[in-house]
Structure 1
């Protein structure tokens, strides 16, 4: 801010040359102020990414143990999610370690979410990303059972998402899952086209009565929420962006199906 003020005052005092000098002085002032106040934006983002990462995988473990035990299929689901995120090497081992911490009897959900909310309270995208990751885990077997739903509802409440909004996100996630791996140009079977079209509208979060403008607005909002640059800026770890990318592909496929159906 000081560099722009310096440039403005310099221009008033002596024209373009003084504006340039004022900009340089202001830049040095900004840099000195950041150092004096201990600002380290890189370290802060790294801290946020660490908290998001550990929260996602610890709570995933807690969700997997929702019914009181962790079966082989749930472990396989966790492995599949880790692979879906593209985690390898030390990062994969860290994810497994955090997942096991969430399984432990000593794990407490509320303190973990409280730590998460310290960095995500004013960041709705981070909160939505957490819930989407947990829904991906819960839906890995095709459905969310009652015990998993109770925990997910509790998490939603802790992060400021109402039961109604949670249900909407769950419905959208279940619908979007039907377009997983299809891609925008994927083929749909004629026999199930009606059901797929209904799921496509649900995946975008609109009804069949939505106008083209309303449809496009809802689609663009979802795509913006899953844009990698925006998520990185908010503190989502880069090695977790694959989930957002796949989610965007599902949304794109659903949108293309609706658009093609409306052309006929």
Structure 2
């Protein structure tokens, strides 16, 4: 764009020769602008990735310390989640350090979430990723106790999520967890799907049995779009944290396949 503006202004000032000179100056300006924008975007994305990573593991540590101490089972859960993320070497050591910082007595939750919101700004997918990651930690043992839930409610509140909406997300996460590791067609394990499994499938998608096929399909597609790797990476989610989104998408897909199979009968 600058090259054309330069050519036009040059022509007005001195004719064809100045137009050519203006075009050349505009070309260099365009190149410099693109490089600057590319550099700034890359630096900003790296900053977002760093803050999200730090916040996830510090809040995980804080949740683990909810009852006043970090027990061996919670440490094992944290190790399992670090492995689930596929973190190794220096990245694994960094995650453990952040987890310990979050479980320290002097850790303050509000400033950490505030730092996160400064980079997350109005990005709902980043807030979603943070909530899902800490819910994964809290649900690692299959349940969320009252102390953990209090902290998670505070996190949700800081992120602008109401208590009612958080409860819905928690119920969805608990239901989705029942489809972990199944993949597509997971509902065909024994040839017959129990009523409880089907009820969990509807809850995992965030729909009800009374909804139409089209409504359920829209809800499913929205959830899958929210967990699309390319979209999350573009928003600043670190690549080594994408596994949790991938597994979440597999759980959602397995639940949806079960609903489809049930309705096709």
TM-score, scaled to structure 1 = 0.89
Deviation larger for 163-172 or 30-39: 30-39
Query: Where does structure 2 lack aligned partners over 5 or more consecutive residues?
Result: 12-21
Residue matched to 1:130: 130
Shift of 1:191: 6.8
Q: Distance in 2 between matches of 1:124 and 1:145?
A: 26
8 Å CA contact 1:182–1:253 kept in 2: the answer is: yes
Q: Distance in 1 between matches of 2:214 and 2:28?
A: 48
Q: Distance in 2 between matches of 1:49 and 1:200?
A: 32
Residue matched to 2:33: 33
Shift of 1:210: 1.0
8 Å CA contact 1:6–1:25 kept in 2: the answer is: no
8 Å CA contact 1:52–1:116 kept in 2: the answer is: yes
Matched, 1:145 2:145: yes
Residue matched to 2:240: 239
Q: Distance in 2 between matches of 1:26 and 1:202?
A: 57
Q: Distance in 2 between matches of 1:135 and 1:69?
A: 19
Residue matched to 1:226: 227
**Number of residue pairs matched?**
252
Residue matched to 1:211: 212
Q: Distance in 2 between matches of 1:241 and 1:26?
A: 41
Shift of 1:116: 0.1
Shift of 1:189: 3.8
Q: Distance in 2 between matches of 1:25 and 1:250?
A: 55
Residue matched to 1:197: 198
Matched, 1:107 2:98: no
Deviations along 1:34-88, one digit per CA (max 9) or x if unpaired, are: 5678952111101110000000000000000000001000000000100111111
Q: Distance in 2 between matches of 1:249 and 1:130?
A: 19
Shift of 1:193: 1.5
Deviation larger for 246-255 or 38-47: 38-47
Residue matched to 1:72: 72
Deviations along 1:210-241, one digit per CA (max 9) or x if unpaired, are: 11110110000000000000000111011000
Q: Distance in 2 between matches of 1:253 and 1:28?
A: 53
Cα 1:222–1:39, aligned 2, differ >3 Å: closer, same or farther?
same
2:139 match: secondary structure: helix
Q: Distance in 1 between matches of 2:27 and 2:124?
A: 32
Cα 1:51–1:36, aligned 2, differ >3 Å: closer, same or farther?
closer
8 Å CA contact 1:58–1:98 kept in 2: the answer is: yes
Residue matched to 2:52: 52
TM-score, scaled to structure 2 = 0.88
Q: Determine which structure has more spread, i.e. the larger CA radius of gyration.
A: 2
Deviations along 1:142-178, one digit per CA (max 9) or x if unpaired, are: 0000000000000000011111111111010000000
2:140 match: secondary structure: helix
TM-align CA RMSD: 2.4
